[in-house]
């Protein structure tokens, strides 16, 4: 009995015991929707009394938790401090989804149903509210400057990449879509293109274009985003433009070559899927077309001039990296206001609340769906694919095939800017594995625990 009492904590301890955690729901907590389908859970900093000393791994092996060891097990109460890294050293790369299965939904279907039931319960017995923009045909005024900013940042990003690729070599495989930033391609045998079995997965490196670095994702241009869905027999009559440009147009960017219908009054709903336009005769005549904001133009290849000095290269890399962040952050803001759909089986993207009816899906088991797309909510990486490439160490040494697990990855645009002299953003340091020591030989790598 005396030994049992010695193991119990003292009531006079300044650190009271924490209450056991409780959970009112059987479902796991939802993670933040930040452009990826699921983001990693945040690790909280807490203090635990009477914990056995040692080191515990963080979630997924990405961060460490260090616990102060107790000097004696018979102490009344020992304070335990868990220290977590805000910027983890090592993070997993984005998952590659199999082409034989459907992409996961950004938000689970069960959660969507639960939210719909809550909205219906709150709206019960209350008068129906008018539709908010953009569902009523009007624009979201606060997002119009964001749309122009994203459109200009996209043009600036393409122009700067063409200039940087004249001084920073980028290699592309002749048989697959993989690229590498460096004068010599990486030695990893990951090619799955034509005749890859004869080459044992070895890449055949050559030159590449800016489209391989900043992947163009196309979508149908809609003259009326609230109009009827595009049928299958009109799939060749509707023009296709970059999906990011179409998103900016629907958000308020006026381009003469891509006309679109702008309503000055909200629509009038007459049914679940039927509406009529409001009478605008009492309004003054619309002003002639003019540019609300200046718009940049994309340069041709013969107009591209390479930077002349090292200082100009660094400044160009910083400007390019800033444009990349503006495009990503601005596109995410626009996607929260305007619906963007993606096929769950193929990379087809549609800007609008309902996807088109063109039966041009050629993904796995498309015969069972008669070529129809499986539309679902898109995430940021569906609209702007980052195209991850291997990160070269700062030492300048070439990558070794046996040390593949020690190297990091970064988006191709970020890797080009970093090699040109730009500072590495904090959010990419985890996947680039900058703080991970790289062994100098295979024998040294085998000694790593």
pLDDT surpassing 50 at residue 413: yes
Segments making up each domain of the chain, as ranges: 129-280+289-447
pLDDT at 25: 38
Q: Give the model's pLDDT for residue 42.
A: 41
What is the C-alpha to C-alpha distance for residues 29 and 38, in angstroms, rounded to an integer? 12
Indicate the range of 85-99, 239-253, 272-286 predicted with least confidence: 85-99
* pLDDT, mean of residues 5-27: 42
Q: If you average pLDDT over residues 19-23, what whole number do you get?
A: 43
Whole-number pLDDT of residue 165: 96
Residue 23 has pLDDT above 80, yes or no: no
Residue with tokens 């900016």: 248
Identify whether the C-beta of residue 359 lies closer than 8 Å to the C-beta of residue 372. Answer: yes
Instruction: State the pLDDT confidence band at 446, using cuts at 50, 70 and 90.
Output: confident
pLDDT for residue 444: 83
What's the confidence (pLDDT) of residue 116? Answer: 95
| pLDDT for the residue numbered 157 | 97
Q: Which two tokens stand for residue 425?
A: 């953003």
| pTM of the model as a whole | 0.79
Q: Which pLDDT belongs to residue 172?
A: 96
What pLDDT does 215 receive?
94
Task: Output the average pLDDT for the chain.
Answer: 82
**Per-residue pLDDT at 248:** 97
Query: Which 3-state string (H, E, C) describes the chain?
Result: CHHHHHHCCCCCCCCCCCCCCCCCCCCCCCCCCCCCCCCCCCCCCCEEECCCCEEEECHHHCCEEEECCCCCCCCCCCEEECCCCCCCCCCCCCCCCCCCCCCCCCCCHHHHHHHHHHHHHHHCCCCCCCCCCCCCCCCCHHHHHHHHHHHHHHHHHHHHHHHHCCCCCEEEECCCCCEEECCCCCCCCCCCCCCCCCCCCCCCEECCCHHHHCCCCEEECCCCCCCCCCCHHHCCCCCEEEHHHHHHHHCCCCECCECCCCCCCCCEECCCCCEECCCCCCCCCCCCCCCCCCCCCCCCHHHCCCCCCHHHHHHHHHHHHHHHHHHHHHHHHHHHHCCEEEECCCCCEEECCCCCCCCCCCCCCCCCCCCCCCEEECCHHHHCCCCEEECCCCCCCCCCHHHHHHCCEEEHHHHHHHHCCCCCCHHHHHHHCCCCCCCCCHHHHHCCC
pLDDT reported for residue 28:
38
What is the longest distance spanned by two Cα atoms in the chain? 93
Calculate what percentage of the chain has a pLDDT beyond 70.
79
Task: Give the model confidence (pLDDT) of 195-219 as tens digits.
Answer: 899 999 999 999 999 999 999 999 9
How far apart, in whole angstroms, are the C-alpha atoms of residue 444 and residue 399?
Answer: 16
- In this predicted structure, the answer to whether residue 83 has a pLDDT above a threshold of 80 is no
Task: Tell me the sheet residues that pair with 56.
Answer: 65
């Amino acid at each position: 009995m005396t030994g049992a009492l010695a193991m119990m904590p003292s009531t006079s301890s300044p650190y009271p015991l924490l209450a056991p955690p409780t959970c009112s729901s059987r479902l796991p907590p939802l993670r933040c929707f930040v452009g990826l389908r699921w983001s990693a859970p945040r690790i909280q900093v807490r203090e635990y009394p009477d914990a056995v000393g040692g080191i515990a791994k963080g979630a997924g092996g990405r961060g460490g938790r260090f616990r102060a060891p107790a000097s004696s097990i018979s102490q009344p109460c020992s304070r335990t401090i868990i220290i977590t890294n805000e910027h983890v050293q090592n993070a997993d790369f984005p998952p590659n989804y199999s082409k034989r299965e459907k992409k996961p939904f950004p938000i689970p279907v069960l959660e969507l149903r639960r939210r719909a039931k809550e909205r219906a319960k709150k709206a019960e017995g209350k008068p129906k509210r008018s539709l908010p923009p953009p569902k009523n045909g009007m624009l979201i005024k606060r997002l119009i400057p964001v749309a122009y900013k994203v459109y200009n940042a996209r043009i600036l990003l393409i122009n700067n990449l063409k200039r940087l690729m004249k001084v920073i070599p980028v290699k592309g495989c002749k048989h697959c879509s993989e690229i590498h930033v460096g004068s010599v391609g990486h030695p990893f045998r990951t090619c799955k293109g034509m005749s890859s079995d004869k080459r044992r997965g070895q890449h055949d490196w050559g030159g590449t274009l800016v489209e391989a670095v900043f992947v163009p994702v196309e979508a149908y241009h809609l003259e009326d985003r609230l109009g009827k869905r595009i049928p299958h027999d009109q799939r060749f009559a509707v023009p296709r433009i970059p999906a990011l440009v179409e998103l900016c147009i629907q958000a308020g960017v006026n381009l003469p070559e891509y006309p679109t219908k702008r309503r000055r009054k909200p629509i009038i709903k007459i049914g679940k899927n039927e509406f009529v336009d409001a009478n605008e005769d009492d309004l003054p005549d619309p002003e002639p077309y003019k540019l609300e904001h200046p718009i940049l133009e994309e340069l041709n290849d013969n107009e591209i001039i390479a930077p002349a000095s090292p200082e100009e290269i660094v400044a160009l890399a910083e400007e390019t990296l800033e444009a990349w962040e503006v495009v990503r952050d601005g596109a995410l803001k626009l996607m929260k206001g305007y619906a963007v759909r993606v096929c769950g089986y193929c990379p087809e993207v549609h800007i609008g609340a309902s996807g088109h009816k063109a039966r041009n899906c050629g993904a796995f088991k498309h015969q069972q769906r008669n070529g129809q797309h499986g539309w679902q909510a898109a995430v940021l990486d569906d609209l702007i694919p980052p195209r991850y490439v291997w990160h070269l160490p700062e030492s300048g040494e070439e990558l070794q095939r046996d040390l593949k697990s020690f190297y990091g990855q970064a988006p191709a645009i970020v890797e080009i800017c970093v090699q040109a002299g730009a500072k590495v953003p904090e959010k990419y340091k985890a996947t680039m594995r900058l703080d991970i020591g790289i062994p100098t030989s295979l024998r040294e790598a085998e000694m790593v625990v």
